[in-house]
Amino acid sequence: VSFTDGYAEVDGCKTRLRRGGTGAPLLFLHGANGAPVIMPFMEKLAQRFDVLVPEHPGYGKSDEPEWLENIHDLAYFYLDFLKALSLSNVTLVGTSMGGWIAMEMAVRDTSRIKSLVLVSPAGVTAPGLRAADIFLMAPEEAVRNLFVDRKLAEARLAQPEDIDISLKNRHTTARLAWEPRLHDPFLPKWLHRIDVPVKLVWGREDRILPVGLAEVLAQRIPGAHVHILENCGHLPHAEKPDEFVDIVCR
């Protein structure tokens, strides 16, 4: 499956958008490290879905709009994005920060959303389940903390990195998630409004957001099913792509 690589303009923000495959629309919302490349799980999903992979405002090659100040701005942006691209019946897949954005969208409006797949999402916290301090990690340490499989971490570290883009991503992540750290204290109050099926996917060995948060979310979101992957870290879609795609398509 080949992906087109272009830009969509929504809310005055030039937004990089890769799109490939046929079927019902699936919107993938990336995490703090962005979505610089088309990954194997995206190719696999594109055999079943019309897969859309944007780079969030403030990330990668997308604009940094002045209006971008908090996570709610991105929730409204992506609701506008669905409307602007006339997408409906959307499978919304979000990982980490992207999972947080997906929940913030869904508590506001699910009229264009068919279901959610939340992959080790940020967005909530609970006593004893604090997120790791990603802003105090040295860059290499941060990558190693993402994976259980060390070979995957080393492969990621061996890839050439665009320093400007990684500083830009880090800046936007800080802007959105520095304080309160990686969560919205008001979100849990409204999670019951998510009235579409939700799959919660988490790696048992997640060193960024503890797996215990899956239960915290499952208690709040009426239609949630929890899928825990063994020997898996913070990025199940990257570390266990086959199992991950199975869960999405199931």
Partner 1 sequence: MQVTLFHLMPYAEVDLAAARAHGTVWGLPNRNYDAQVAHRLYNRFLDELEYGETLGFDAVSVNEHHQTAYGLMPSPIVTASALARRTSRVKIAILGSALPLRSHPMMVAEEHAMIDVISGGRLISGFVRGIGAEYHTFGVNPTFSHDRFHEAHDLIVRAWTEKGPFAFEGHHYRVSYVNLWPQPLQKPHPPIWIPSQGSKETIDWAAHPDRRYTYLQTFSPAKVVARYLKMYRDTGEGYGYRAADSQLGWSVPVYVARDDESARKQARFHFENFRNVFVRMPLEMLLPPGYTSRESLKNVMKAKAQMFGDVTLEQALELGLFVCGSPDTVLNAFRKHWQEMRFGNLLVLCQFGTLPADLTRTNMELFAREVMPALKALN
Report whether 51 contacts 28 (CB < 8 A): yes
Stretch that binds partner 1, among 4-12, 42-50, 116-124, 178-186 (CB under 8 A): 178-186
Burial 130-139 (b: 16+ CB within 10 A, else e): ebbebeeeee
Closer Cβ to partner 1, 44 or 168, answer by number: 168
What is the residue-wise DSSP string for 60-96? TTS---TT--SHHHHHHHHHHHHHHTT--SEEEEEET
**Peptide bond preceding 241: is omega within 30 degrees of 0, i.e. cis?**
no
Based on CB atoms, which residue is closest to partner 1, 115 or 125? 125
Does position 183 interact with partner 1 (CB under 8 A)? The reply is no
Of the candidates 221, 197, 230, 203, the residue with the CA atom closest to the CA atom of residue 95: 203
Assess 167 for contact with partner 1 (CB under 8 A).
yes
| Cα–Cα distance, 117 to 218 (Å, whole number) | 12
Segment interacting with partner 1 (CB under 8 A) among 129-137, 207-215, 229-237, 242-250: 129-137
The residue among 138 and 158 lying less far from partner 1, judged by its C-beta, is 138
Q: Find the part of the chain contacting partner 1 (CB under 8 A) among 95-103, 161-169, 182-190, 231-239.
A: 161-169
Tell me whether residue 176 or residue 245 sits nearer to partner 1 (CB atom): 176
Name the one range near partner 1 by CB under 8 A: 89-97, 115-123, 174-182, 207-215: 174-182
Check binding of 136 to partner 1 (CB under 8 A): yes
Would you say 134 or 187 has its CB closer to partner 1?
134
Determine, following the binding rule CB under 8 A, whether residue 158 of this chain makes contact with partner 1. no
Q: Which of 170, 199, 234, 237 binds partner 1 (CB under 8 A)?
A: 170
What letter would DSSP give residue 162?
A: -
> In sequence order, what DSSP letters do the residues of 91-126 get, joined into one string?
EEEEETHHHHHHHHHHHH--TTEEEEEEES--B---
Of 44 and 56, the one with the shorter C-beta distance to partner 1 is 56
- Give the rounded distance of the alpha carbon of 79 from its chain centre: 15
Question: Using the rule CB under 8 A, which residue among 88, 174, 192, 242 binds partner 1?
Answer: 174
Per CB under 8 A, 186 contacts partner 1: no
- Element containing residue 227 per DSSP (H, E): strand 224-229
Q: Pairing state of beta strands 13-20 and 49-54?
A: antiparallel
Q: Which stretch, 35-43, 80-88, 168-176, 190-198, contacts partner 1 (CB under 8 A)?
A: 168-176
Q: Which of 180, 178, 201 is CA-nearest to residue 124? A: 180
Contacting positions for partner 1 (CB under 8 A): 135-138, 163-164, 167-168, 170-171, 173-175, 178-179, 181
